[in-house]
Each structure stands twice: as C-alpha cells, then as structure tokens.
Amino acid sequence: MIDFSEEQRMIRKVAREFAEKELLPGVIERDKHARYPKTEINKMHDMGFMGMTVDPAYGGGGMDTLSYVIAMEEISKVDASCAVAMSVNNSLVCWGLQKYGTDEQKEKFLRPLASGKKLGAFCLSEPEAGSDASHQHTIAEEKEDHYLLSGTKNWITNGKNADIYLIMAQTHPEKGSHGINVFIVEADTDGLTTGEKEDKMGIRASDTCSVMLDQVVVPKENRIGEDGFGFAFAMKTLEGGRIGIAAQALGIASGAYERALKYAQEREAFGVPIYKHQDVSFKLADMATELEASRLLVYHAAMDKDAGRSYTVSGSMAKLYAAEAAMKITTEAVQIHGGYGYVREYHVERMMRDAKITQIYEGTSEIQKIVISRSILK
C-alpha cells in the first residue's frame, strides 16, 4: 500500500514492542482506577516518543509526520490514554513552539518538552467556548512588560501533570478572533491552579481537568508570535493535531479489530468457530475495509504535511473518517465477543469507550465537516 522506509518500519516495530511490553500489562487497572500513567509517560520520554518531529537541534527526534503517525497508531492500539498525552505533547505543544516560537522560547521550553521529560498542555477550550473556539472569555490584559491572564480553561489534557501550558486568551475583544493571543505559562506560576481530574467514560487514565487563571503574570517574551496571532496559532496547530488524533482513532480501531479477528477463530458456537457464521465474517470484512480506508486517509494526510502540501482538508477528512470508523469497529468488536466483550478482561469494551472521544476532541466530527465543506464549497 505504502512503501515505508526502513526507518519507518523500525519505528513501528519498536513502538509495537514497547506498547505490548510496557503499556499492555497495566492498561486495564489504569483504566479501572483512572490512574494517570506517570511511569509509562516517563518511559515514553525515554524512548523518544514525546518529541518525535522536533528538530534534533532542540533535542527532538527529527522524524517526519508519517513516522509519528505510525508510532501513535501502535501506542493507541494498546493504550489510548498514553496516546493522547503523546499526541498533545508532540503535535500541539512541541509543533506549535517549533513552528512559531523564538529561538529563546525554543531553547527554554521546547528542548525540555522534547527531551527533558517535561510535559505540555494546550489550553484553548473553555466552559463556554469549545467548538466556538474564538469566543474566548479568558482575558490577557496588556501591561507595561507583561500580561495579566484571568479565566478558566476546560478539559485540559495533561492538565495536572503539565510543566508548560500554551494558553489562548483574549487581549482585544473588539477585534474578535484577531484579538486573541497565545502565551507560554509555566506550571509553578502564581495564580495558576487546576481543578479535579474529570471522571470520564473513556481514556480514563489520561489527565483531564480545568485550569484556572487568577491574575497570572506572564512576561511579554512568553507571547508566541505577533499581537493577535493566538487564534491562527490554535487553528494551524490543530490542523496537524487532527492528524495525530486520526492516528489515535486508527490505532484504537486496529487494536479492537485484531482482537475480534482472533476471537472469531477461537470461539465456537453451534459446533463451528463463530467466523464460519456468515454474519460474523461479514462484520469482519466491513471492519477490515473501514480500517484500510482510515489507514489510507491518515497516512495520506501525514504525507501531505511531510511534502509541504496543504493538509487542512486531508487532516480533517482523516480525523472525521477514522473517528467514525473507530466507533463502528470497536462496537462490532464488542458484538463479536458477545458477553465476553462486555467485561474489562477482553479489552474491547475499553476500546469502544476510548473510541468515542476521537469524535469529540480536537474538533468534533461536525466541526470537521464544517472545515471540509467550507473548503470544497468556497
């Protein structure tokens, strides 16, 4: 299908072995108790999974997007909670800093995120600004040599464990989306606090919480880009982030499909392995086809990005399709497992719960349709 390079094949092998050896053993317990995978994330830092596309000059892996997507797929196959921490750090925080940060910002913040076990968070959403992301209520008041940030950010992945937050806030409300700025804020800054960890349906081990800002002083040198660049920064960064989440959806679906395929050959009913019942084999055929279509869209979007082509639409298409397919494939995987699919031990019920979030975050499926339709109708 795609002629992967020797390096890309090696990345898949290493990521798969890592996921099976280091993530699989505790994944059910971490999900059950919503326990944050601190040790596992640290190991992912050690393996170089947290700053894969960052320039080696700043301690990163210097890899292409396709390699990153391959690793995301393999990690997500086993543990989607670890995968979302990886996705946010790589494609939202590191990428945004690398692309738009100054040399000083990169040296101070990007290097530790890529190679120093620091974790990043991307703070765009608010209690009343999710899909309608430009409707920011968080205010960044401009002072002589600093900004004063106040407001609440919602649903922040890596919220409690992040060392570095990228925070979008409104400086010039009269300018609408063009008045928004983006700031680098360190976790130990006075006035920054976090809420309770959310008790979620899926990706339960991942760390999601609110981030509260009360008159947080942010030096001017921590603003990224020109005054008013914050919304464009968020949109540009999310274009790539969506490819990462599409890869997460692909990985979750792929993990569920592989388990269903195996189970259908082992489980017997009416004297034959259940795959010999046509309805089960047809389910597997549909799952395999949708998986293949997801894979092609995800790799295609990654290759667009690597080739310097626009990936706004291909990224949104990949995320839309892969997320919808992940929900269908994981639901069918539970069905093929029958009652066993409904209990934790067989993994597929977790995958079905985990798949749901891929239709919601980094732009809901409906928002992807807005991005795609605007482009084809303009």
Residue 28 binding result from ligand CAA, ligand FAD, none, given CB thresholds of 5 to 8 Å by partner type: none
Q: Which residues pair with 156 in a beta bridge?
A: 209
Q: Which is nearer to ligand CAA, 177 or 189 (CB)?
A: 177
Binding site for ligand FAD (CB under 6 A): 88, 122-125, 130-132, 155-157, 200, 203, 208, 357, 360-364, 366-367
Does the protein bind ligand CAA through residue 235 (CB under 6 A)? yes
Provide the 10 A C-beta neighbour count for residue 270.
Answer: 7
Among 105, 134, 150, 335, binds ligand CAA (CB under 6 A): 134
Residues 314-373 that bind ligand CAA (CB under 6 A): 361-363, 367, 370-371
Q: Which is nearer to ligand FAD, 64 or 349 (CB)?
A: 349
Q: Report DSSP letters for 5-46, one per residue.
A: -HHHHHHHHHHHHHIIIIIGGGHHHHHHTT---HHHHHHHHH
Distance (Å, whole) CA 102 – CA 221: 9
Residue 365, CA atoms < 13 Å, CB-side half-sphere: 14
Distance (Å, whole) CA 353 – CA 201: 6
Q: Which is nearer to ligand FAD, 177 or 364 (CB)?
A: 364
CB of 170 to ligand CAA, least distance (A): 13
Q: Which is nearer to ligand FAD, 222 or 237 (CB)?
A: 237
The catalytic residue positions are 362
What is the SS3 assignment for 208? strand
How many residues lie near ligand CAA (CB under 6 A)? 23
The residue count of the chain comes to 378
Provide the 10 A C-beta neighbour count for residue 7.
Answer: 11
Stretch that binds ligand CAA, among 103-111, 217-225, 230-238, 340-348 (CB under 6 A): 230-238
Buried b (16+ CB within 10 A) or exposed e, 248-267: bbbbbbbbbbebbeebbeee
CB of 67 to ligand CAA, least distance (A): 20
Among 24, 187, 232, 296, binds ligand CAA (CB under 6 A): 232
The closest residue (CB) to ligand CAA is 361
Q: Which DSSP state fits 271? A: T
* The token pair that represents 78 in the structure block: 């086993």
CB of 156 to ligand FAD, least distance (A): 5
Q: Cα torsion at 312, 318, 321, 323 (round to 10°)? A: -100
**Nearest in space to 134 (alpha carbons), one of 358, 375, 376, 367:** 367
Distance (Å, whole) CA 176 – CA 134: 7
Residue 123 binding result from ligand FAD, ligand CAA, none, given CB thresholds of 5 to 8 Å by partner type: ligand FAD
Among 67, 91, 115, 125, binds ligand CAA (CB under 6 A): 125
Residue 366 binding result from ligand CAA, ligand FAD, none, given CB thresholds of 5 to 8 Å by partner type: ligand FAD
Contacts with ligand CAA, 26-65, as mask; x by CB under 6 A: ----------------------------------------
Residue numbers of the site for ligand CAA (CB under 6 A)? 84, 88, 122, 124-125, 131, 133-134, 157, 177, 231-232, 235-236, 238-239, 312, 361-363, 367, 370-371
